[in-house]
A = this chain, B = another copy of it.
Amino acid sequence: MIRFNCDYLEGCHPAILQKLTETNLEQTVGYGLDPYCEQAAGMIRETFSCPDAAVHFLVGGTQANTTVIAAALRPYEGVLCAETGHINVHETGAIESSGHKCLALPPHNGLITAAQVAAAVAAQGDDEHIVKPGMVYISMSTELGTLYTLDELKELYHTCQQLGLYLFIDGARLGYALAAPACNITPADIAKYCDVFTVGGTKVGALFGEAVVINHPELNRNFRYMIKQRGGMLAKGRLLGVQFCALMENGLYFTIAEKAVQQALRIREALRSKNIPLFIDSPTNQQFPVFTKAQIAALSQQFDFALWEPVDDEHDAMRICTSWATTDENVDTLIAAIENL
């Protein structure tokens, strides 16, 4: 069985495992105050051209999202997001569990707009009976694999600044976004046009780990308390530093992401050639073909995909993911199978 159902099926890139092995018996202080975390933070600041940003390392995405949002908001504030946003649908109410409402906006292709944000703030009207928007959360790439353009991002950030909202970019798949040929946003743009973003390691080569990069000093105040309280402070914090050092070295993070995106685009091309409709046109490592039940049955003998959404009695939208670990051989096998449908 060849699995394409998500982008966290394997362990980590060999360069990471090697560095973990090399450093294994070194003694360092705990909780992310070690030299590896410091070095990794520096490499991230350099990669994203944000020399003054604070960088923290957390184990997972839900943890990172909850910690950032809980640190940002006052108790009566909520976070604007797409209805399809990860925090709104796939974190078991972690945000609400920290006391804050997800203020969900209807997305277009997984994306929300500056105009929607402005309208939501206007509709709330500073009425104390209604949750006050305090932050905007977007993903890059989105749950649907789509991308914000540079203009869209700039406009969102500009609107947030005008309205006194934080802008938070969930970069669980940031590598796959920035490495996509269709993306016109650079790493420096990411850091420039938001208050806080994450650099996802779990889905892009690491065993686990998300870097939280905070541009806004107020948001960073006592942030380590927040990490500890929310259960995100790893005793052997250096494990995160070591991994991000390996990922940032010589741009490995983007190299492996680019390869995965290219594989996904080859699969997209095969789907299109076969006239298989796409649930959404994704330019990144996730593809969403709408297969017939018969096609799914046929492919399922050899491949494992994720059911994304039932379309009608005869069709389901499926998700096919590539990742840093996907082999060209497996992609070739899949393409051949698609061609034979």
B-binding residues in A (CB < 8 A):
2-3, 6, 8-12, 14, 17, 20-21, 23-30, 59-63, 66-67, 70-71, 74-76, 78, 89-94, 96-102, 128-132, 202-203, 207-208, 222, 224-236, 239, 325
- Contact indicator B11/A228 (Cβ below 8 Å): no
Q: Which of A66, A90, A225 has the largest number of chain B CB atoms within 10 A?
A: A225
Query: Which residues of chain B have C-beta atoms less than 8 A from A66's C-beta?
Result: 231
- Asked if B229 and A92 make an inter-chain contact with CB atoms under 8 angstroms apart, the answer reads yes
Q: Are A76's CB and B229's CB within 8 A?
A: yes
User: Is A60 a contact of B233 with CB atoms below 8 Å?
Assistant: yes
In terms of DSSP, what is the predominant structure of the interface of chain A?
loop
CA distance A132 to B98 in the complex (A): 17
Q: Would you give the shortest CB distance from A107 to chain B, in whole angstroms? A: 16
Contact among B8, B92, B234 with A228 in the assembled complex (CB-CB below 8 Å):
B92
Known: A59-B234, A230-B94, A239-B11. A3 touches B17 (CB 8 A): no
Chain B residues closer than 8 Å to A228, beta-carbon distance: 62, 76, 91-92, 94, 128-129
Contact of A225 with B76 in the complex, beta carbons under 8 Å = yes
Among B6, B8, B222, B325, the residue within 8 A (CB) of A132 is B222
Choose among A10, A11, A224 the residue with the greatest number of B CB atoms under 10 Å from its CB: A11
* CB proximity of A105 to chain B, nearest CB, Å: 13
| Chain A to chain B contacts (Cβ below 8 Å), 30 pairs | A2-B27, A9-B30, A10-B25, A11-B236, A17-B21, A59-B60, A60-B231, A60-B234, A62-B228, A63-B231, A67-B231, A75-B98, A76-B93, A76-B222, A76-B225, A76-B229, A90-B130, A91-B229, A92-B128, A93-B100, A94-B229, A94-B230, A101-B102, A128-B222, A128-B225, A128-B233, A129-B228, A132-B222, A132-B225, A230-B231
Q: Which residues of B contact A230 (CB under 8 A)?
A: 94, 97, 231
Q: A236 contacts B207, CB within 8 Å?
A: yes
